[in-house]
């Protein structure tokens, strides 16, 4: 790498692990202690404090995607994932996106929604009015629950009341809108909902049942956009083939689910690497994909006037750099340092860009050579390991499997026996 700080690294995948670590160390200014974390495991005491009934640690590989340029800043993007090809595909997509200036993003305020479900009121309209009339008192009470958030400029900002028809009759659902700043916000919002429940019951004479945040965080949206250079893609015909493939995801939920899974390959890998709640992100993303009444693609593509491919993505991202596991897990802190992000907003910008890159890479491969070619060459290494290959044997067996276009366990065992 040159002296200038860039995430563009050619042949990163060919380097030995130690050399890769050195590049990341230099790029992100990691100290010796932080660098050692790559080959260490989560302390049992920390694990035991995180969940119940702990028995041990479950490891998945941590890699880094290269070439990312987002809003003019270079990023090495840590990815915790067990599936082969994903990191390579993201790096390749980011390389193509860099040619026309990389990714550009927009982020809304970090607004989360908390829900309070009210039942057994005599008259729904009167109850709803009583809640709205006491909006200020309710917001004040909510903000007393989290002084830190309020001091940071966040806190409860608004209140909305919805009347829903249900098999139990009219149901009133009050939404509290909370600016959670750099947190994911679930605990913060849940605490507020629980604090407001008695006051809402008193105001309405009803009974609050559920009081919890909504994972459909549609007021906390991130958009990423980029232009994929047509020449780097192999010409305008390839762009057209890409668009033909994409269209199916826009009209058909069977394809949209797989298309969006490809987006989540990238999104989840970074969400996990930064100690965030991937179930919350998954739930929010898929619910948002169905926001217009039918499940569709989270990304959109079109051709610009010069024939290049323009890709856009919009999704809700309830992620934090404080709270949850983000600060408890040493590797999550390390991954944030690798990224060099100081706010949840900036982390969301990288996550959305990565999701778009990942999606592009999958559709690009599908609309040209198909994914199995690239996937299988990486998968061959897994098969070689499964067959019992060690050290140098892994590459030898994997290369032979790919050459024969027969990535199968029985064949891997035969090749291994022959080598030995």
Q: CB-wise, 186 or 227, nearer to ligand NAD?
A: 186
Least distance between ligand NAD and beta carbon 283 (Å):
7
In 3D space, the residue among 122, 87, 145 whose CA is nearest the CA of residue 357 turns out to be 87
The rounded Cα 142 to chain-centroid distance in angstroms is 29
The first and second tokens of residue 120, run together, are: 């057994």
Q: How far is CA 273 from the centre of its chain?
A: 10
| CA dihedral (37, 92, 389, 395) positive or negative | negative
Active-site annotation holds for 393: no
187 or 382: whose CB is closer to ligand NAD? 187
Q: Which is nearer to ligand NAD, 213 or 416 (CB)?
A: 213
Length of the chain: 420
Q: 182, 268, 277, 349: which is the annotated catalytic residue?
A: 277
**Given 259, 329, 375, 379, the catalytic residue:** 375
CA gap 245, 238 in Å, rounded: 11
98 vs 181, beta carbon nearer ligand NAD = 181
Backbone angles phi, psi at 172, to 5 degrees: -105, 125
If the CB atoms of residues 287 and 322 are measured against ligand NAD, the closer one turns out to be 322
Q: Closest residue (Cβ) to ligand NAD? A: 323
Please tell me what DSSP assigns to residue 327. Answer: T
DSSP assignment, residue 2? Answer: -
Determine whether 183 is exposed, middle or buried from the number of CB atoms within 10 Å of its CB (0-12, 13-18, 19+). Answer: buried
**Residue with smaller CB distance to ligand NAD, 307 or 340:** 340
Can you give the binding site for ligand NAD, defined by CB under 6 A?
A: 146, 148-149, 152, 180-188, 190, 213, 215, 277, 280, 320, 322-325
- 3-class DSSP assignment, residue 216: coil
Give the residue from 415, 371, 382, 418 showing the smallest Cα distance to 245.
371
Query: Which member of 120, 157, 232, 261 is catalytic?
Result: 261
Q: Do 140 and 195 form a contact (C-beta atoms < 8 A)? A: no
Q: Which two tokens stand for residue 185?
A: 């916000």
Tell me the two tokens of residue 57. 């640690």
d(CA 104, CA 224): 6
Give catalytic status of residue 261 as yes or no: yes
Query: Could you tell me the smallest distance in angstroms from the CB atom of residue 78 to ligand NAD?
Result: 19
Is residue 268 part of the annotated active site? The answer reads no
β-strand partners of 156: 178
The distance of closest approach from Cβ of residue 41 to ligand NAD in the complex, given in angstroms and rounded to an integer, is 21
Give the strand pairing for 169-179 and 155-166.
antiparallel
Q: How far is the CB of 143 from ligand NAD (least distance, A)?
A: 11
Residue 370's contacts (CB-CB under 8 Å, 6 or more residues apart) are none
**155 or 266, CB closer to ligand NAD?**
155
- From the list 22, 83, 236, 393, the catalytic residue is 83
Catalytic-residue membership of 109: no
Q: How far is the CB of 319 from ligand NAD (least distance, A)?
A: 9
* Least distance to ligand NAD, CB of residue 47, Å: 15
What are the φ/ψ torsions at residue 208 (nearest 5 degrees)? -80, 130
Q: Closest Cα to residue 118, out of 225, 200, 3?
A: 200
- Least distance between ligand NAD and beta carbon 166 (Å): 21
Taking the complex as a whole, the smallest distance from the CB of residue 149 to ligand NAD amounts, in Å, to 5
Q: Smaller CB distance to ligand NAD: residue 127 or 142?
A: 142
391-399 LR contacts (CB < 8 Å, sep 24+): 393/419, 393/420
* Residues identified as active-site: 83, 261, 277, 375
């Amino acid at each position: 790498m040159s002296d200038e700080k860039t995430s563009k690294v050619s042949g990163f995948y060919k380097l030995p692990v130690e050399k890769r670590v050195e590049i990341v160390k230099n790029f992100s200014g990691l100290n010796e202690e932080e660098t050692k974390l790559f080959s260490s495991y989560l302390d049992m005491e920390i694990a035991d404090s995180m969940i119940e009934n702990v028995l041990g640690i479950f490891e998945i590989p941590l890699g880094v995607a290269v070439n990312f340029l987002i809003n003019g800043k270079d990023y090495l993007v840590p990815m915790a994932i067990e599936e082969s090809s994903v990191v390579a595909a993201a790096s390749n997509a980011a390389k193509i996106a860099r040619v026309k200036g990389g990714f550009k993003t927009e982020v809304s305020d970090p607004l989360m929604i908390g829900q309070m479900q009210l039942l057994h009121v005599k008259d729904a309209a009167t109850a709803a009015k009583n809640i709205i009339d006491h909006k200020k008192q309710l917001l004040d009470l909510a903000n007393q629950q989290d002084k830190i958030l309020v001091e940071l400029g966040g806190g409860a900002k608004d209140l909305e009341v919805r009347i829903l028809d249900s098999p139990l009759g009219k149901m009133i659902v009050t939404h509290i809108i909370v600016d959670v700043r750099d947190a994911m916000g679930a605990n913060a919002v849940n605490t507020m909902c629980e604090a407001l429940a008695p006051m809402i019951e008193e105001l309405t004479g009803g009974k609050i049942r559920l009081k919890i945040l909504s994972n459909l965080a549609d007021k906390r949206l991130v958009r990423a956009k980029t232009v994929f250079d047509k020449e780097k893609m192999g010409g305008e015909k390839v762009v057209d083939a890409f668009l033909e493939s994409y269209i199916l995801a826009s009209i058909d939920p069977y394809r949209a689910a797989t298309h969006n899974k490809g987006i989540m390959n990238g999104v989840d890998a970074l969400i996990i690497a930064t100690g965030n709640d991937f179930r919350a992100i998954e739930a929010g993303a898929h619910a948002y994909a169905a926001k217009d009444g039918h499940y569709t693609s989270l990304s959109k593509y079109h051709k610009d006037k010069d024939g290049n491919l323009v890709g856009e993505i919009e999704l809700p991202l309830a992620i934090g750099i404080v709270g949850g596991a983000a600060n408890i897990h040493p590797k999550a802190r390390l991954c944030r340092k690798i990224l060099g992000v100081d706010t949840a907003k900036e982390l969301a910008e990288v996550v959305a860009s990565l999701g778009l890159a990942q999606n592009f890479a999958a559709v690009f491969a599908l609309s040209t050579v198909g994914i199995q070619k690239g996937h299988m060459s990486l998968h061959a290494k897994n098969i070689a390991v499964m067959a019992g290959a060690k050290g140098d044997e892994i590459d030898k067996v994997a290369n032979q499997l790919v050459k024969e276009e027969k990535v199968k366990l029985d064949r891997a065992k035969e090749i291994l026996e022959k080598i030995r």
